Amino acid sequence: MKYVDEFRDGELARGMARRLAKIVRPDRDYRFMEFCGGHTHAISRYGLEDLLPTNVRMIHGPGCPVCVLPIGRIDAAIELARKPEIILCTYADLMRVPASGGDSLLKAKAAGADIRMVYSTLDALRIAETEPQRQVVFFAIGFETTTPPTALAIRLAARKQLSNFSVFCNHVLTPAAMRAILTSKDDRVELDGFVGPSHVSAVIGVTPYRFVATEFEKPLVVTGFEPLDVMQAIVMLTTQVNEGRCEIENQYGRAVSPQGNLKAQAEIADIFDLRESFEWRGLGEVPASALRLRETYAQFDAERRFAVETPVARDNPACECGAILRGAKRPHDCKLFGTVCTPETPIGSCMVSSEGACAAQWTYRRFDEPTREERMAS
């Protein structure tokens, strides 16, 4: 595939690793957080950690919308789906996420709830048009990448005056989560820089991250998802650290412009406004970190239409997903990892989503022995 295969050349990756080994300073560590689950997955899948010098460490971040969605929101979605008049449409990623009491959307579907997996918000809209006697609720989750498609569906529903389409909105914001990581009170991780998600930047551009450099003095490189993209970003971050620079750089110029996609930004701004606060798994309540529908579009807001209550729900107390999402712990630090919690029988969300840190570790590196340093730490 063009624009994919060229960026997966193993020989070039090894060459880049040799260059990296030359430029790292032996007297210090380099701790870079890859914010996005897509990067976590790529790093594991292509074995990039094995190519890096031992003092360059990648720390997994909270950038997996499935992983950070609190259990109460899944419980609320299941509650909606059990209403006989409702068809709940969802992206497939959410089907197996454990809810309270061992429940999940998949189990609710098996028990008779009308839950349908869709590829696109337009599929959900089409279902609403073809089944006017039912209420279609789209379970919207995701960072800034999935938000414009949700916005467009709401605009189209308004234009077509569909009275049976609404959205259960859980869209969250990347920069706000990054700020939460940088200001976290408990077990804050020491970081030397960020690998930033490029598909988010395809929408929001590069400038919203400026605070990472100016306020927190960390470099950030907006990075593509192929292995050579990630390797280049690590070289760029290492160079910045060595030169004492903190800049926001763009490695993914082929699809990210500095200002991002203005049309998509306008769609988001027209349909959504900020929630004062939203709960994240692993980060707790994060101010101004999520979106809800504007008053103008209130009739398309499932939370208002069906008076949705978000129950307070507890994660499995033994599950370390929270600390893993903050980058404070690694999958191997969790007692459940690989014992009762595997992709077939996930206990925590980081094992459900293929982009979760635990799933990536289990799929590609579960036989790795923890290093001496990790054994000492635990």
Partner 1 sequence: MCLAIPVRVIELLPEQMAKVSLDGVSKTISTALVDNVAVGDYVILHVGFALSKVDAEEAERTLAMIRNIAEDAP
Residues engaged in binding partner 1 (CB under 8 A): 1-4, 6-7, 11-16, 18-19, 22, 36-38, 63-66, 91, 93, 119-123, 141-143, 145-146, 148-149, 152, 197, 199-200, 202-203, 225, 228-229, 231-232, 235, 251-257, 261, 263-264, 267, 353, 355
d(CA 122, CA 138): 10
1 or 376, CB closer to partner 1? 1
Pairwise CA distance, residues 143 & 140, whole Å: 10
Q: Which distant-in-sequence residues (6+ apart) come within 8 Å of 358 by Cβ? A: 321, 324, 331, 334, 337, 341, 348, 350, 351
Q: Kindly tell me which of 36 and 87 has the beta carbon lying closer to partner 1.
A: 36
For 140, phi then psi, to 5°, come to -90, 120
The least distance separating partner 1 from the CB of residue 345, rounded to whole angstroms, comes to: 21
DSSP single-letter state for residue 198: H
Nearer to partner 1, 11 or 369 (CB): 11
Helix axes 262-271, 147-159, angle to 10 degrees: 60
Q: How far is the CB of 93 from partner 1 (least distance, A)?
A: 5
| Cβ closest to partner 1, residue 3 vs residue 277 | 3
Nearest CA among 377, 281, 333 for reference residue 74: 281
Q: By C-beta, is 201 or 332 nearer to partner 1?
A: 201
Structure tokens at 24: 């790292």
In this structure, are strands 272-274 and 291-293 parallel, antiparallel, or unpaired? antiparallel
Q: How far is the CB of 378 from partner 1 (least distance, A)?
A: 30
**What minimum distance in Å lies between the beta carbon of 279 and partner 1?**
18
Q: How far is the CB of 152 from partner 1 (least distance, A)?
A: 6
Least Cβ distance, residue 251 to partner 1 (angstroms): 7
Q: How far is the CB of 24 from partner 1 (least distance, A)?
A: 14
How far, rounded to the nearest angstrom, does the alpha carbon of residue 340 sit from its chain's CA centroid? 24
Shorter beta-carbon distance to partner 1: residue 68 or 181: 68
In 293-322, which positions are buried (b, 16+ CB within 10 angstroms) versus exposed (e)? beeebeebbbbebbebebeeeebeeebbbb
For residue 168, what is the enclosing H or E element?
A: strand 165-171
Q: How far is the CB of 123 from partner 1 (least distance, A)?
A: 8
Nearer to partner 1, 1 or 307 (CB): 1
- HSE at residue 127, side-chain half, CA atoms within 13 A, is 23
Of residues 138 and 306, the one with the C-beta less far from partner 1:
138
At residue 355, φ and ψ (nearest 5 deg) are: -95, -5
Q: Would you give the DSSP letter of residue 120?
A: S
CB of 350 to partner 1, least distance (A): 13
CB 92 to partner 1: min, Å? 10
Q: Which C-beta is closer to partner 1: that of 149 or that of 333?
A: 149
The rounded distance, in Å, linking the Cα atoms of 181 and 33 is 10
Please say whether the beta carbons of 233 and 38 come within 8 A: no
Residue 93: alpha-carbon gap to chain centroid:
11
Q: Provide the Cα torsion 179, 181, 186, 190; round to 10°.
A: -120
**Which of residues 91 and 306 has its CB atom nearest to partner 1 in the complex?**
91
